[in-house]
Structure 1
Amino acid sequence: MAKSFGPAPQTVSTFRVVNTVWSIESYAERDGYQADFVPGKKSLPLPGLRDWSEDVITLLPEAARDGALPYELKYTHFSVVMSKSRKLPLFSAVNIDGSQSDRDVERTDAWRKDPRIDLDLQIIREVYGDASRGFFSRGHMTRREDPNWGDPETAKQADADTFHVTNAAPQQQNFNAGVWLDLESYILDNTDRENLRISVITGPVLTAEDPVYYGVKVPVAFWKIVAFTHARTRAPTAIAYRRSQTSFMPRPQRSRFVFGDFEDTQVSVEAIEIDTGLDLAAFKAIDVMAQAGPQVEIRVNSADQIILER
């Protein structure tokens, strides 16, 4: 059974939270994640739901779009799919155009809910607040800088879009650094310079054993899959990466929570598929560790230790 501790949720700080929502109509032109974005690979669609097909949040009828998946929240250059039972993203998928990237966009820094789905199925305050008191940060799944490309207005809108709580999961601030932070930049530096486009899928590993903090089940592990055109081979390539925040998580006095390995690891896409219950077939087909099997983990201490070639 998952353990729980913490003071009453009403003590959580509301700093950086916007109570108003944008109109549903204002999202009409969001393009979302594009499956054909990575050069040389005809289609890398969003992960299939597999084990989560009965546990996704669908868009309200007035927000549905013809021809679009009924559960896909489209934002500027990225998309999110949400779990109903956990009120957290199953994954967030972004397209990054390194040749048009604008890293100077002013940080929006104001979190809000998305009106296209039930507002009660979105976590905005419950577990978030002062880290010194054991609360968590709103950890971006799609990094705020990643979709910030194109013309200035588009890049600015993309930044604001990443501050929807649908794109966040509880993370300790110290966790959101190191390899996790540097991975996309490292991949772009090793991408075919004529095809500076990558797609990144990021999400939490949601399990029944996740510990409960302030009434919210908090994921212990997170994952990324990055697809790109390899600089040397010019072939479409994917790598998978997994990180645990166990060693950063607050614990009550005299607690002896043990959650497993604390290390950053490169794993196969198949391993992520097993962890998450999602269908990642398109990414498995171009995985550099496809032959390694799901049991193999390669510990990494910096982004430049990530294996990019079979």
Structure 2
Amino acid sequence: MKKPKFFRSILLIAIPAIPIILFSYLQNPLTAQTSSVHLTMGNPSNAGSSYSNRLLNKPQYAVSYNCFRGTPNWVSWQLNRSWLGSAPRQDDFRADTTIPSDCYRVTSSDYTGSGFDRGHMAPSADRTNTVANNSATFLMTNIIPQAPDNNQGVWASLESYCRDLVVNQGKELYIISGSYGTGGTGSNGTRTTIANGRVTVPARTWKVIVVLNAVNSGVNSVSTGTRVIAVDIPNTQGVRNASWRNYRVTVDTLESRTGYNFLSNVPVSTQSVIESRIDNL
């Protein structure tokens, strides 16, 4: 039977911080929450109220936020035609004041001169039905330091492909996106952190995409034949013109690398099939 994965975010923190993490964990036990449509496929890290794994349940997407890293562990969202429209890109990057005051609130200027893009996890172009929904994607809790070639090239190509599935084929997608590891290479070279150490630069960016044929059919429509795309891409320069298809992996592989349990709301017998194969379309 599929076992839940331990949180990789804890493993990545320096040893001196472990007592703090354990105290936070004991004081704020994590509780799975699945009330959001964006968590239809599951809560990959059982995010709750922990300092390193805090659940932010927003109308536009769900986030597991890591105050130690200054970035989301993952962001999860539903994508169908109802989320798309003609609202313009707001470009109003800003701190997220919904996170606790003892958690550093990353600002847009923290990325200035870093050589890394303010990389969206839930893309701006996936939320164009209203100005408010587009604006929500510019909260810094939805942003990671992303190498420009990754963000503007291979990553953007996959984002566009996802929207094409929705617009031209009428699919509904459930997408989970995040990063792991420490140390990426931007336009100014390799860095492990930016913002005076407050924001960790990840080594890899990843995404899991569940492709459904019917809108609002939910987890019950996931079968052993359901298409699932998983990618694991280096957060470096030099991948601008690469194909995202070159970075496809199994969900099982991504779970072993991140420590997360993806698609946990899907029956285990179905998970075992769809998580063990690499997408080939």
TM class by shorter-chain length? 0.5 to 0.7
Q: Which moved more, 1:121-130 or 1:173-182?
A: 121-130
User: Structure 1 residues 281, 97: closer, same or farther in 2, change over 3 A?
Assistant: closer
Q: Normalized against structure 2, the TM-score is what?
A: 0.65
Hey, what does 1:78 align to over in structure 2? 61
Partners of 1:122 and 1:272 lie apart in 2 by 29
Kindly indicate whether the alpha-carbon contact (under 8 Å) linking 1:269 and 1:290 is maintained by their aligned counterparts in 2. Answer: yes
Gaps of 5+ in 1: 3-30, 37-43, 58-70, 150-154, 250-261, 293-297, 299-305
User: Structure 1 residues 290, 263: closer, same or farther in 2, change over 3 A?
Assistant: closer
Hey, what does 1:278 align to over in structure 2? 260
Task: Give 1:73 deviation, angstroms.
Answer: 1.5
Hey, what does 2:230 align to over in structure 1? 240
Kindly indicate whether the alpha-carbon contact (under 8 Å) linking 2:183 and 2:202 is maintained by their aligned counterparts in 1. Answer: no
Q: What is the aligned residue count?
A: 224
Q: Normalized against structure 1, the TM-score is what?
A: 0.60
User: Structure 1 residues 208, 176: closer, same or farther in 2, change over 3 A?
Assistant: closer
Kindly indicate whether the alpha-carbon contact (under 8 Å) linking 1:243 and 1:264 is maintained by their aligned counterparts in 2. Answer: no
Q: Which amino acid in the other structure matches residue 290 of structure 1?
A: E
- Determine which of 230, 248, 265 is the counterpart of 1:266: 248
Q: Greater helix percent: which structure?
A: 2
Q: What do the CA deviations read for 1:209-237 (whole angstroms, capped 9, x no partner)? A: 98234424210110011111259x99533
* Equivalent residues in 2 for 1:1-310, closer than 5 Å: 33-36=37-40, 44-49=41-46, 55-56=51-52, 71-98=54-81, 101-102=84-85, 104-119=86-101, 120-125=103-108, 127-130=110-113, 134-149=114-129, 155-190=130-165, 196-207=171-182, 211-213=192-194, 214-215=196-197, 216-229=199-212, 235-247=225-237, 264-282=246-264, 285-286=270-271, 290-292=275-277, 307-308=280-281
Task: Give 1:206 deviation, angstroms.
Answer: 3.6
Partners of 1:32 and 1:291 lie apart in 2 by 27
Kindly indicate whether the alpha-carbon contact (under 8 Å) linking 1:268 and 1:287 is maintained by their aligned counterparts in 2. Answer: no
User: Structure 1 residues 76, 148: closer, same or farther in 2, change over 3 A?
Assistant: farther
Q: Which amino acid in the other structure matches residue 255 of structure 2?
A: E
Q: Which moved more, 1:275-284 or 1:79-88?
A: 275-284
Hey, what does 2:27 align to over in structure 1? none
- The percentage of counterpart residues that share the same residue type is 25
- RMSD of Structure 2 on Structure 1 (CA): 3.7
Provide the secondary structure at the position in 2 that maps to 1:176: helix
User: Structure 1 residues 280, 199: closer, same or farther in 2, change over 3 A?
Assistant: same
Partners of 2:182 and 2:94 lie apart in 1 by 26
Task: Give 1:286 deviation, angstroms.
Answer: 5.0
User: Structure 1 residues 156, 136: closer, same or farther in 2, change over 3 A?
Assistant: same
Gaps of 5+ in 2: 1-11, 13-34, 185-190, 215-221
Task: Give 1:129 deviation, angstroms.
Answer: 1.3
Q: Which amino acid in the other structure matches residue 97 of structure 1?
A: N
User: Structure 1 residues 185, 116: closer, same or farther in 2, change over 3 A?
Assistant: same
Q: What do the CA deviations read for 1:129-169 (whole angstroms, capped 9, x no partner)? A: 13xxx4322111110111333xxxxx211101001000000
Task: Give 1:174 deviation, angstroms.
Answer: 2.5
Partners of 1:182 and 1:148 lie apart in 2 by 18
